[in-house]
Amino acid sequence: MPILPIVQAGEPVLRRQARPLRPNEIRSREIRELIQHMKETMYAAPGVGLAAPQIGKGIQLAVIEDRQEYIKDWTPEQLADRERKVVPFHVIINPRITLIGEDRVEAFEGCLSLTDLMGLTPRARRVRVECLDEKGEVCVIEATGWYARILQHEIDHLGGKMYVDHMYPRSLMTVENFTQHWKEMTTSEIKAALGIT
């Protein structure tokens, strides 16, 4: 299965509204194969989600999976703090997202289309997503915590947005510097040190 190239920030497709897939397209061999290629590309990156615009396709399709191997080194406290747990592989097509409640959670986010960068990004803690699955069947997802963050991130891509549109600009940093200087700090400590109010 070939690994697809992931386009980087500045590629026009990342800033355009993706078009919805029609029912006959969803069931096509082309889309089934694209989903498999996207799944393998997401694994190879590695990432927890990949939207079609990130591989140059302006269609409303994304793949998501948060694997056990990605969180095996996290402490129970870190997992609880981020409300992060394993999310099985699934596909979302033509999603409509609703942010539930006023709770916002701040965490560092990265993106496969902004290689080696991350920023502190506020997101809704809970979301509801109505979409179609890879068979074209209606699916409703209610998610909290890290899974809600993943959904918001990927659905943003389908609307021509990226996490940098939501993040605190002063928090943009390389993954290497985050790991070296900030990883062990709480979000409150990081915000204070960076002068984010």
Report the alpha-carbon distance of residue 144 to residue 97 in Å, rounded. 13
**Angle, CA 67 vertex, CA 137 and CA 165 arms, to 5°:** 75
Three-class HEC string of 54-98: HHCCCECEEEEEECHHHHCCCCHHHHHHHCCCCEEEEEEEEEEEE
Report the alpha-carbon distance of residue 117 to residue 109 in Å, rounded. 9
* Virtual torsion, Cα 70, 155, 87, 183, nearest 10 deg: 30
176 catalytic per annotation: no
Report the alpha-carbon distance of residue 80 to residue 91 in Å, rounded. 25
Report the alpha-carbon distance of residue 109 to residue 77 in Å, rounded. 19
Give the residue carrying structure tokens 């900030």.
182
Check 65, 109, 134, 154 and give the catalytic one. 154
Q: Which tokens sit at 93?
A: 């097509």
Which residues belong to the active site?
154
